[in-house]
Amino acid sequence: MADTPSTPASTTGATASAPPSVPIGEVIELVTNYAKQETLAPVRGAGRWVAYGIAGAICLGTGATMLVLGLLRLIQNEFGPTFAGRWMSLLPYVAALLLCVVVIGIAVSRIAKTSLQRD
């Protein structure tokens, strides 16, 4: 059997189909819709994520501030005479500062990087 070169489809009688013609307006609209879908949807999700983060930070910050001020006032009112003196009067403020450091340490330990997109 001899190797014969294959003949192209146009010479065998089959007609080649032309690519479908699509109006340029539809192509532009399709690309625009795709760009909006791929850029605006993630930005909206990130905006919602940031808004919840800011609201949570404000609530936690306000709560922590009230907690520290409450501790400071408790120490000053209940143990006032104990802290009489030039340097001893600073101890309630040192205790409040230590509580702030503990709360900040707990908050920083809970920070985790999460994806902005839902799986």
pLDDT tens for the chain, 119 residues long, are: 555 555 555 555 556 676 677 788 888 888 888 888 888 877 777 888 888 989 998 998 899 899 889 988 988 888 878 888 888 888 888 888 998 898 889 888 888 766 655 55
Would 92 be classed as within a structural domain? yes
Q: What's this model's pTM, rounded to 2 decimal places?
A: 0.54
Would 118 be classed as within a structural domain? no
What is the spatial distance between Cα 65 and Cα 87, in angstroms, rounded to a whole number? 24
Instruction: Provide the domain limits for residue 43.
Output: 25-109
Q: Terminal CA-to-CA distance of the chain, rounded, Å?
A: 59
Give the chain's domain count: 1
Buried b (16+ CB within 10 A) or exposed e, 13-48: eeeeeeeeeeeeeeeeeeeeeeeeeeeeeeeeeeee
